[in-house]
Amino acid sequence: MTSEFRVFLSEMFRNPKEVVAIAPSSAAVARRMTEGLERVSGPVVELGPGTGSFTRAILDRGVAPERLTLLETNERFCATLATRFPGVTVLNRPAQEIRATGLTGVGAVISGVPVLARPQIQREVVGRALEVMAPDGIFVQITYSPTAPISPEMQARLGIKGRWRGVVLANLPPAHVFVFSRRPH
């Protein structure tokens, strides 16, 4: 068992309300979540990185560590991330505090934060991320449902449109990836 998986299991049992996934995301879903990041300019933010499955894939896409900021609420995950990914900014704060990072012109937000069927979280997380994103920025969200994790009504309220990027069966459970961007005016 890898040390990453050991840390994940330990925190899942210690903080079941905080660690809601049943396993770390697979490398296959991490690759799908990070498609196209090599063409994104500006800062990249990861919300809820856990033990760093997506973080590794973001860096593998060529995003320089100094361009990447992670927002994670679990202190032990933060310590693990800071050790595993030198040069990456790791902040022990919730996704809702993305504005407090001082970042602007964010090219991409990669989110592992569960937002499905939680309108308040959608407004607080996605809405605030939009405030710091570049006009052509993208918000990439993982979900375990085949339908968009943000309802059409909430998408309209936030001024975004969603696009299904695909399903990854090589994940426990299988994961769907959606990309949200601003609607053209």
CA atoms in the 13 A half-sphere facing the CB of 115:
30
* Confidence label for 91 from pLDDT (cuts 50, 70 and 90): very high
Q: Domain locations in the chain?
A: 24-182
* Cis peptide bond prior to 86, omega within 30° of 0: no
Rg (CA), the chain: 15
CA angle 33/36/42 to nearest 5° reads 100
Asked whether the predicted pLDDT for residue 8 surpasses 80, the reply is no
Residue 63, burial from CB neighbour count under 10 angstroms (0-12, 13-18, 19+):
buried
Identify the three-state secondary structure at position 182.
strand
**CATH class of the structural domain 24-182:** alpha beta
Tens of pLDDT, residues 56-88: 999 999 999 999 999 999 999 999 999 999 999
State how far the Cα of 31 lies from the Cα of 58, in Å rounded to an integer: 8
